[in-house]
Structure formats: C-alpha cells, structure tokens
Structure 1
Amino acid sequence: DPLIIDNDEALQKLRGIADYFLMHNRRIYNRCDDSVAAVVGGEVQIYRRARGYVPLPVDLPVEPPAPILGCGGELKNTFCMTKGKSAYLSQHLGDINHYGNYQQFLYTIPRFEKMLDVRPEVVAYDLHPQYMATRWAQGLQGVRKVGVQHHHAHMASCLAENLVTAPALGVVCDGTGYGLDGAIWGFEFFAGTPGQLKRMAHLDYLPLPGEITIKRPARMSLVYLYELFGDRGLDYARRYLPALPLEEQRLLVRQLENRFNTVPTSSCGRLFDAVSALLGICTRVQYEGQAAIEMETLASRDGSGGVYDFEFQTGVKPYKLGVRGIFEGILADLEQGVPVSESAGRFHRTLVEMIVMVVKRMREETGLNLVALSGGVFQNKLLFHLLCRRLAEEGFQVLYHKKVPTNDGGLSLGQVYIASEVIGEDVSCYSGQDCEN
C-alpha cells in the first residue's frame, strides 16, 4: 500500500494497530518512501531511490531533442522526465498493479510536470501489454510513443548513468521481462548502442508453468529436472523435492507435456529459484527474491569445489547457454552428501564463468571491451563481486549502477535514453519487429 499521508486516512486505516496519533494541520504534499542502499565494494549502490535522492537529477550523456517521459515498469515503479540534459526520476512508487500505487503514479506525473515546468512530447513505455503503465501510455493522445524492450532499458539505464554513448556489451540478469519474441527473458547478452541493441546470447528457454511457479520455486525445480532428464528427472524430484506433493508433480508434468498455460522463459531469477529449491534451501517464497537471497546467504565463499559444467551453444544465433551440466553436478553433490553451502557457492561461481565465457566470445566478434551490468539479480553481492573481479582479470572495463537501482527502479532512465536515441528514426524494432536482424 502507498504511504498514508492524510490524517483522516490514518485514523481509519491504522486504528487497529496504533494506540495514539500525533497529528499536524500542515498537509504533506508528496509521498516519499525511505531509500534503501548498500555498500558494495566500498561504493554505495541504491536499491530503492526515494527520500534523500529525489528529485535530484541524473545527467544524461546527450540532450534529448524533445522532453521525454519514461513510464517505468510494473514492479518497483519509477517514472523519469527529462528537461534539457537532465533526467528526473520520481520517488519509488512501488508495484503499480496495486490500485493505490497506480493512483499515486497518476497523481505524481502532473506534479513533476508542474515542478519542472515541462510537458513531455515523447512517452516511452515497456513492451509488456499487461503493464498498467504501458496501458496508460498507449492511451495518451498528442504525444509520440516509443515502446522499449525491458532488458534493453536495463542496459541503457546503466549506460546513461555512466554517461556512455559508445557501443558496449551488456549483461542483464533479472526475473521477468517481456521479450521481443513474446517469451519471458531474463538472462540476456547484448551488444551495440542504446538505439540499436542486438541480442547476442541468452539462457536456453524452458517453459514457465504459470505465475504460481514464482511463489513456489519447487515447481521450477521440477521443470528443470523433467525438461533436462525426462522420466529420470521425476525420480530425482521424488527424492529431492518432498515439498512438492506427488499429485502436483503428476499434474505439472502433464502441463509441461502439453505446453498448457506455459510461456518460454530464459529468466535468471527462475534458475536461482530452481537451484535453491533443489538444494532444499527455499521451496516457497513469502517475499520477492527470497529463494535467491537465502541461497546467497548460505553460499560458501572459500572457492572450494570449482565450478559445474555448462553448455555454450555457438552453432545457433543468438548463442544459447545450457545448464544440464549444472544440474547433473548438483544432483551428484546431493547424492554424495556435499554440504549445501558448498553447492550454493559452486553455483554462483559457475554463473560467473558462464557470463565471462560469453562476453569474451562477444568481444572477439565485436571488438568491444566495455561491459554494462544491470538487472535485479546483480543485487546479489556475492555474484556481483565475483563477476566484477573476473571481468577485470580478463581486461574488461565494467560499468554498473551507482546512481539509480539496478532493479526495475532504474528502467525509466533507460527508457528515456533509448527514446532520445530513436526519435526521428524507424522505431519499429522497439515494437518487437526488427531488433534481432
């Protein structure tokens, strides 16, 4: 729910939990949550940008030819408005699939227009057709509209805050983002400039059997086991997924066989979920990212056990990453009684080596040495630290977020940067047509 800033609303909604109320007759003008940040490698990284940071602007690498509004995403929403060479991100507005937060989104945009004395002429939005901000943007009149792919916006956000206009490589790892092919992307590799990004590689697709799977990671474990090992995977599931009742396992297998109510996904977040549940760390989540957070917390930091095998398929484009070797290694660890902490640490190190192998191949093809990291998965301090160190060892220049969140709270900045690059050009690729060519 949005913060309560009205006396009458506080009396109505908080009477069951508050013994006393201290009130004032001065009206609160804007809701603004606490900011959330962490110190990573001696630098501050912002996970939720609000009080203390908003409305301080973020400088853009180039001045957009017209004022732009970036609408952000569905979760951890912020919007972004440009004036001159400055980008003004709103405070954290929360998940706007919640009615109250959506109303706050609608309320805050005209406040920013008045504060900045600007009227956006271009509106950029996420391609997901069900996002509330997308539906709102598509219904506007008298403005130019630019749809921006979710992970393109992530990478562009990182480039924007680092004032980069040159071509770069990008690695974007998160949980959910609507892809140009209608799949749910989430472990993506790009090359190019914000106005023309090419998808170079991704995690191989597996079916996602409904959004309930996000709440119940054990379901995603079964997906991986069945898709990778067939009937043998069901034997593994019965042994290592006791939290998933046998009847539910049978129904889920039928759903996978018929591809009923499933969508292809390359999500890194769902891969973390599957491994966490298989290791017995977290089989049901009560908050976003719980399975991955608990696995990171348990993961060994001593580097023991090396890395698991994985597959890098270069005979197709975009290149594909396969994880059969990872799951074979984890299953072997379980059978041998290897401590869960060691397996969790080994999984993190394996992802790092996967990413490094891909970006090295991309560098060979493109000659680019600049790598931008973005997406909510990089809030994982262990993964982020190990990856930055390995990329530096390989001679890469690494860019990451310091001014705006690496999660979806930074999407709106990337949206305005891409929109500023494609104004006046054919933008059909950002409606899902041509970016893969």
Structure 2
Amino acid sequence: MNERITQRIEVLGRVQGVGFRPFVHRTATALGLDGWVCNINGHVEVTAAGHPAALRELISSLREHPPPLAAVRRIEVTDVSGEETPVEGGFTVRTSQTDPSAAPREIPPDAATCEACLRELFDPGDRRHRYPFINCTGCGPRATVIEDLPYDRERTTMRRFPLCPSCAAEYGDPGDRRFHAEPLACPVCGPRLAWNDLRGEEALQAAVKAVEDGGIVAMKGLGGYQLVCDATDQAAVTELRRRKHRPTKPFAVMVRDLTTARGLAHISAQARDVLTSPQRPVVLVTARSQLPEVHPGTRRIGLFLPTTGLHHLLLRELDRPLVVTSGNLADEPIATDDAEARRTLATAAVGFLTHNRPIRARYDDSVVHTVGRATLVLRRARGYAPAPLPLPVPAALPLVGAGAQLKHTFTLAERGRAHLGTHTGDLADAATYDAFETSYADLTRLTGIGPRAVAHDLHPGYLSTQWAQAQPVERRIPVQHHHAHVAAVAAEHGLTDPFVGVAYDGLGLGDDGTLWGGEILIADLTGYRRVGRFARAPLPGGEAAVRHPARMALGYLHGLEPLGVPRPAPWLTRAFTDRLDERETRAVRALIERGVNCPQASSAGRLFDAVASLLGLGDTVSYEGQAAVALESAAGSLRVGALPWRLTLVEGLWVYDPTPTLTALLEGLAAGVPVAEAAAGFHTTVAEVTAALVERVAADLHTVCLGGGCFQNRRLLSEVERLLRARGRRILTGNAVPVNDGGISYGQAAVASALLAKEG
C-alpha cells in the first residue's frame, strides 16, 4: 500500500530574501511531493504531502543544504490531517501571509553581486549586459529596500517598478534562478542611473570622466551615498579630506579584484575569504606600499571588493583603486535621501551619480579584520546587520539594549534572539541621534519586537541613557559599561558560567562613580566583581584630554596615582615637554596640581594615548583611537622584551602601576632607543601585565573574555591570547559582535535577559 502523510514544516531563521521558497519548490517537486510553501511574517511555512521517506529527505535538505545566504535556526514539524491536507497535483508557491502571533521576524542583510550575475553583467549577449542593478535570489539588496514583512516585492521599494514581461516570466518560473527574486529588475523595467540630465550608460560615463579628471563623485550605493575618487591621485584624496572635514582618519579603498588587492596589501587566506564573501566588508590588511593620503599614520589599509553591479562597472571602467567612503561630512550619518544628499554633499562632490530606487534603511559599510583564522567585526553594518545573534539566556520580556554614546548601536531582543542594529555613530551629533531613532522605529516594526524593558549604561550623560529613561517600558535595567563589554563576548560564545573579564577601553563610568577603562572582573551574565585595574591618572580638561594625548601624557607624568614608586625625574621628561607649548604645559600642570576639571580614570586606552604622545607619535588627534593606531603601527611586527612593570594591592584590588614602565620608556628614548622598539616593548609590557593580573585574581577560572576597544589592536590581542593560552586559559573575544562600543548594546541585552531570568 502506498503510504501517504501530510506535515506542516515551519522553518525559522534567515529564510526570506535568500531564495528559500524557490529552493523548497525545487526540492519538493524533485521528491514528488504535493503541497505549497509560503512566507509568513519573517519565516517560511511548508505544507507537504507524500511518502514519509520523501518528507524526511525534504526536512533533511532544509536543515543540511539550504541556499548559501540562508541561516536555518529551527525547524518545527507537525502532522496535518483533514481539510488542510494537500490533494495530489504538484507543489506551488503561495501568496505570503501575516500572522501576528508568529515568532520574531528576521530581516535578511544585503548580499554582494554573485558570480552568475557578474558573468551576465559583462556578457554582451545578455539582456542585462552592463545593467547596474542586476540581482537574483542569491544576491542584491535586501535590508536596504524592505518596507515590511513578509518579504515580497510589494513590500519593498521595488514595488515602484512593475515587472516587464521578460522579468515577470523569470519571476514566475520555478526553474529560473530569479524565481521570486523580489528586487528583480532589468534595463526595460528597473531603476536607472542619472547624472544631471543624462541617464543610463551616459550617466555612468560622465561619472567615470569626473573621477578620471581628479574629481570627487557622490554615488548612491546600497545603504546610502558614497564619496568616490581616485585613490592613487594624491591631490584628489587631499581635496576629499578637506571637503569631508576628515584630516587624518584612513579611507577605505575599493579594488576591482583580488589581484589588485594583493598588489596593494598582504592578503592572508582568511582575509581573501572575507573579501570575497557575500557580506563584502572593508577588511583591514597590512599595506605593501603606503598610499600616504589614504591611510596616514598606519600600515593598515582598509580594502574591499565591489558590492553591486554599479561598483563593478565603475571599477572595470576606471581600472584603478578608488577611495569609496561614507557619503557624509565629519561624523554625520550617511545621506540616503536624494534631496538630503544634494544638500549635505554639494560642497564635497563635483557631481552626483544617482538612481531612482529609494533607500529604505541606512547601512554604512561593515569593517572587519582578521587575526589568524578568526574574523573580528569592528563595525557591524551592511552585509551583517540586522541578522540576529543568539542569546544564551532567553529574554523573558522583549527588550532593547540602548547602547553607548560612541560607535552607537542598539539591540532588540526577544526569546533567544538578539537583533544587533546597524552602526549609527556618535550620538552627540543631532543628525546621528535622529538616524538612531528612525532606525529603532523601523527595526521594531519589521521584527515585531515591542520592548517592555530597556537596558542602559550607568553614565547619565550618555544620550542613549537619557533616551532609555524616556521610554514607556515596565523595567529599566542599568548595566555597567565594562560588564557589558565582557558580557557581550561571553554571550556571543554561549557562555553562562563565571569567567574572567578583561575590559580595556577609553572611558566608562564605574559603579563607584569614577571613570574606568583598564579593568579585570570576575563575572557572569548576571553580575561582576572588580578585582583588578590600571592605576588612575587625571584627564586634564576632562573630555578635552581625549583629543589631546599630550595632556594625557602630562597627566601620567605629574598626576598619576601615587603607589610608592617615584615618578620619572624631570630631566627625563624635558625632551617631551620642551616640544610642547610652554603656556599650555603650565596651564595643564596647574589643573593637575589643583585637581580642577581633572577627573581620574583607570583607563588602558588613555595610557596608550599618553605613551603615543611621549614617543612623538601624536600630541593631538582628529578621530577616536588615532594615537593608539599610530602606536600599534610604530611597533609593527618587531619582537622585543617587556619594559619594567609592577603590580600592587590597593584596597583589595590588584593594580598595575605604570610608573616603572614610563620611566624605562623615557630612559630608553634618552639613550637613543628607536621609537619602534619602544612601542613594541610597551605592547609586550601590557600583554605581560594582563596575563599576570589574570593569574593573580583568578587562578581557578579557566575562561577569559577579552572586551573593549583596546582589543581592536591586533598586536595586543595576539600577545595577550598567546600568554594566557600558554597558562592553560581558554580565550574568547568578539567575532560577530564588535569588541568596541558597537557591541555594548548586545552586552546590555544579554545581561538584562540573564537578570530577568534570575528573578524568575
């Protein structure tokens, strides 16, 4: 007897906008099953009837061999009978449905142009030859065009472009790779390029000519406008810096292919894989030869490959590396609206290469670097966000992590999933704050998560904290900054047991009301105990000291917490102070001596700033972390021993006293030690200090979580990992979640979820 059963298969995860329904249709048809597949909210539901063995094979294929861009989180199977049983007659794709009671919905990130589309793009015989908006079910815009879920064309910005007969045939053909490709388009029915009164190919050629002539072009990308110029044209890059008000921060460089990338930088196997991934992030790699105006003060250059058909066309025509940077001025959010772009970028660009497909959501380029075989996300944006991350302790209430002040993100969490929103920036900028509120409203609507609790930083001055205080929620949960840093690392790796947390960053408010930044914690997701720290030093002038590393150096030389070791002798500091403005030096010393506007901070990041200034690598900075970047670059790969260091007990905490380190550093400079050797020695010292602090405070805890912006420093991270692993420790750090303040909101959400679960 031919046994026949019917099952409903619910597939949750990243299963919309990735060609999942066409995949189900092909697989089910090949297995001889009857039934249908449809989108429901943000997941896929399959009703299939046939032989039990065929159904088992279908479920196995869904789980084990989904489309490349899909991420199947969970499959739920129930038996079906009665009227819901499909009749024999084949398998179909049904109209999408909305179910208010469904699980949180998942928004697919954008994906770079796939190889199949790329071949068509440059095939003179293909109807999409040189069409900038080419895409299929395996690539193209997703998060940046979605207006609502379920994910169907009528709920994207592509609804403005009715399909021509040829595209409609592809869209409806189960055997075509564009079957239900929602952003589907072609030159007949899709978006078109524009440059003033020019359209299509003429518009592209006008932009090419502008770049060839040394100009700066504002180009409408996937998640916002980008400013483009010739990376090898020093005058053009210098002018871009002037117009963008970005004097020294490195620019990202887009290259045509891996061959070009290898000509500019050392590309490891891991970096190659990330460069060519569908996410197409900017990857920080070591430059072979410096492009002085592109990445001043660092040997690292940010490279990425074309992400869209338009990028591929531009790079093919120009055949040279291009600076492709965010379409904004200074720290403003990138422009997305055409009128907004023309208003804000008019002084930066000689012309606008735009198009008529609206950008629904703002997404900057993601930035990553590789350490060995690991990839560490530094800025989580296009290609990665807002794909969810797991929460090891499910959230008992839907909640939001409000994030920090700089490198701002927010995180929406419900049940066992956390949606880490895209990088926003510095909330002190009014336009950036507005962009945050817009992004929050959009993501809550799309995911269906309505927060009933908010987790926030302790610092009352953070705009994210003030925003959290104004939210109409049942619970507000304060989370200490550095606990959030290390909790983010632990949560990403599914760790709920106690661990040692090493949190090194610039500044964060501690639970004692002082500023922290070089902290050793014994922690789990529900709490922490501070067991070690760096010595405190004053920040002369408060926040102004962050922008002036020379002030930090004076703070360490003249106001470091007295821990029983004499400060460096005046003759050792004279070479440093003599190059500074004498009046400013006197004024800063007066602030320190009187304790006026000199908050004390136990900050690893500020110590790096001070050392960079002492070594002559930068007395002022134009972007956060610039001095530390210069210090890491100066150290290079040089291997030297540690400088002297000292740990001492202060009120029950083990404290690193950097006085012997600074004295030895100055003595070495006076004796003619090269700056590179001194910088390398300082890195070795901090790594040894970290390993020693961990050993002193937690001999019996096996796992160490490294968090905070200082661990963006590849050399510091590698040396700390090596020393701790040699002592038998398990080392975790952020991979998908940024270790900098971009990961704070995820850490806050993880802590809040654990605390709510503990309360029962």
Give TM-score, length-normalised by structure 1: 0.93
Q: Deviations over 1:407-434 (max 9, x none)?
A: 00000110011111222768xxxxxxxx
- 1:258-273 equivalences under 5 Å are 258-273=594-609
Asked if structure 1 preserves the Cα contact closer than 8 Å seen for 2:654 and 2:697, the reply is no
Alignment equivalent of 2:556, drawn from 224, 227, 231: 224
Partner of 1:422: 755
SS of 2:408's partner is coil
Paired position in structure 1 for 2:508: 177
**Which deviates further from its counterpart, 80-89 or 308-317?**
308-317
Displacement of 1:233 in angstroms is: 5.0
* Correspondence 1:20-99 to 2 at 5 A: 20-99=351-430
**Corresponding residue to 1:201 among 532, 556, 562:** 532
Task: Report the residue type matching 1:397 in the other structure.
Answer: R
- Residues in 1 aligned to 2:473 and 2:406: alpha-carbon distance in whole angstroms: 27
Change (3 A) 1:20 1:279: closer
Kindly indicate whether the alpha-carbon contact (under 8 Å) linking 1:48 and 1:92 is maintained by their aligned counterparts in 2.
yes
Counterpart of 1:257 (choices 593, 602, 609) is 593
Q: In the aligned structure 1, how far is the partner of 2:548 from the partner of 2:358?
A: 43
Aligned position for 1:211: 543
Q: Is the 8 A contact 2:567 2:663 kept in 1?
A: no
**Which position in structure 1 is the counterpart of 2:292?**
none
Farther-moved stretch of structure 1 (339-348 vs 245-254) = 245-254
Deviation at 1:234, TM superposition (A): 4.7
* Aligned residue runs from structure 1 range 363-382, under 5 A: 363-364=698-699, 367-382=700-715
What residue is the counterpart of 1:130 in the other structure? 461
Alignment match, 2:107: none
Work out whether 1:395 is the aligned partner of 2:719. no
CA deviation profile, 1:79-132 (whole Å, cap 9, x unmatched) = 000122010011001111110010011111121111111211110011111111
Mapped partners of 1:267, 1:178: distance in 2: 11
Q: Paired residue for 1:293?
A: 629
Equivalent position of 2:743 in the other structure:
410
Q: Does 1:341 align with 2:676?
A: yes
Letter of the 2:406 counterpart: L
The residue matched to 1:18 in structure 2 has which SS? coil
Aligned equivalents of 1:423, 1:158: Cα separation in 2: 19
Task: Please name the residue that 2:481 is paired with.
Answer: 150
Note if contact 2:402-2:454 (Cα within 8 Å) is conserved in structure 1: yes
* Aligned-pair CA distance for 1:318: 2.0
Partner of 1:386: 719
Report the Cα offset of residue 333 of structure 1.
0.0
Confirm or deny: 8 A CA contact 2:568 2:659 kept in the other structure. Answer: no
The separation in 2 between residues aligned to 1:5 and 1:26, in whole angstroms, is 11
How many angstroms does 1:386 deviate by? Answer: 0.9
State the distance in 1 between where 2:568 and 2:491 align: 47
Structure 1 pair 236/70, CA: closer, same or farther in 2 (3 Å)? Answer: same
8 Å Cα contact 1:243-1:283 kept in structure 2 = no
Aligned mates of 2:492, 2:628 — CA distance in 1 = 27
Distance 1:243 1:216 in 2: 14
Letter in 2 for 1:239: A
In the TM superposition, what whole-angstrom CA distance separates every residue of 1:392-416 from its partner, at most 9, and x where no partner exists?
Answer: 1110000111111010000011001
Q: 1:425 to 1:162 in 2, by over 3 A?
A: closer
Percent identical among aligned pairs is 38
Aligned partners of 1:56 and 1:397: how far apart in 2? 27
Deviation, 1:219, is 1.2
In 2, distance between residues paired with 1:76 and 1:206? 25
Say yes or no: does 1:4 pair with 2:340.
no
- Partners of 1:372 and 1:350 in 2: CA distance: 19
In the TM superposition, what is the alpha-carbon distance from 1:235 to its structure 2 partner? 4.3
Q: Which moved more, 1:270-279 or 1:280-289?
A: 280-289
Aligned residues: 423
Stretches of 4+ aligned residues off by more than 4 angstroms: 228-235
Distance 2:391 2:711 in 1: 23
In 1: Cα distance, 2:567 partner to 2:555 partner:
12
Counterpart secondary structure, 1:64: strand
SS of residue paired to 1:30: coil
Instruction: Name structure 1 gaps, 5 residues minimum.
Output: 427-437
Q: Which residue of 1 aligns with 2:274?
A: none
> Deviation digits for residues 112-170 of structure 1, max 9, x if unmatched?
11111121111001111111110011122333101111000001000010000111011
RMSD of aligned Cα (Å): 1.7
Q: Deviations over 1:288-333 (max 9, x none)?
A: 11111111111153423x2122221135312211011101111110
Larger relative contact order (Cα-Cα within 8 Å, sequence gap ≥ 6)? 1
Matches of 1:266 and 1:233, distance apart in 2: 23
Partner Cα distance (2:370, 2:580) in 1: 38
Q: Once the 2 structures are TM-superposed, how far is the Cα of residue 73 of structure 1 from its aligned partner? A: 0.4
Amino acid corresponding to residue 330 of structure 1 in structure 2: L
Q: Is the 8 A contact 1:225 1:233 kept in 2?
A: no
- More helix by proportion, 1 or 2? 1
Q: Aligned with 2:698: secondary structure?
A: helix
Q: 1:119 aligns with which of 450, 453, 460?
A: 450
Kindly indicate whether the alpha-carbon contact (under 8 Å) linking 2:487 and 2:747 is maintained by their aligned counterparts in 1: yes
Q: Distance in 2 between matches of 1:385 and 1:311?
A: 22
SS of 1:50 mapped into structure 2: coil
1:153 & 1:230 partners in 2: Cα distance? 36
Mapped to 2, the partners of 1:224 and 1:25 lie a distance apart of: 55
Kept in 1, the 8 Å contact 2:364–2:381? The answer is yes
- Partner of 2:642: helix, strand, or coil? coil
Counterpart for residue 108 of structure 1: 439
Matches within 5 A, 1:312-331: 312-314=647-649, 316-331=651-666
1:307 — aligned with what? 642
121-130 or 233-242, which moves further after superposition?
233-242
Secondary structure of the 1:177 match is: strand
Range with bigger deviation, 275-284 or 350-359 = 275-284
2:578 is the alignment partner of 1:242: yes
Aligned to 2:611: 275
SS of equivalent residue, structure 2 residue 413: strand
- 1:13 Cα deviation (Å)? 2.1
Q: Which runs of 5+ in 2 are unaligned?
A: 1-331
Contact 2:508 2:516 in 1 (8 A): yes
The one-letter code sitting in structure 1 at the alignment partner of 2:408 is N
Which residue is equivalent to 2:690?
355
TM-score w.r.t. the length of structure 2 is 0.54
State the alpha-carbon separation in 2 of the partners of residues 187 and 49 from structure 1.
Answer: 24
Paired residues of 2:533 and 2:656 also in contact (CA < 8 A): yes
